[in-house]
Amino acid sequence: METLHDTIDQLSDEAALNTLGVVLRRAGLSPDPFAQEAPEEQLRQALTQPDLPSLDAVPVDHPTDGDIARATLHYLADRDEHFRTSIQHIAARGVPAEIPIRDVGLFTLGALVLLAMHADVELRKESRKGWYFHFKIKPLPGAAIGKVLRLLYTKYLG
């Protein structure tokens, strides 16, 4: 029997990005299109901080946006039953016709990932340190959040 994780792994890049955008929007989370700083620049700086948890097994191949979206969907599915149910519904039926998927493309992948991880990770800025990740929980080795961070590291710095 196919699991939700199998279903997520089979999503095309476009379907994974659209699913992530719609799942977050249904949860009342959407990026601020008027934010002054670009999330990618904040992510790049935070990913260089020395206190970042180990990024062992950083992928050699450059991940696609779909790879990162799928890893983020795995993270959400493992983290919360509401997200799990929403992902199952959208992955099985596709993005509902009443939700314009073009809106998802207006926001950067980095902003979507930061929204998805907001319960466990916060992007903060200190005047002396710059942008860094504040972990609300200590990530376990091999945890889904670690995989997302490794993919982001490879995409933005690798």
Q: What is the pLDDT of residues 28-80, one digit of tens each?
A: 887 666 665 667 778 788 888 777 666 666 556 788 989 999 999 999 999 88
The pLDDT value recorded for residue 154 is 83
End-to-end Cα spacing for the chain: 36
Confidence of residue 132 (pLDDT cuts 50, 70, 90): confident
Supply the mean pLDDT for the chain.
79
φ and ψ of 122, to 5 deg: -130, 140
The pLDDT value recorded for residue 43 is 79
The pLDDT value recorded for residue 102 is 42
pTM of the predicted structure, to 2 decimals: 0.79
Average pLDDT of 92-102? Answer: 60
φ and ψ of 131, to 5 deg: -75, 140
Asked if 83 and 23 count as a contact pair (C-beta separation under 8 A), the reply is: yes
CA distance 84 to 62: 27
φ and ψ of 109, to 5 deg: -60, -40
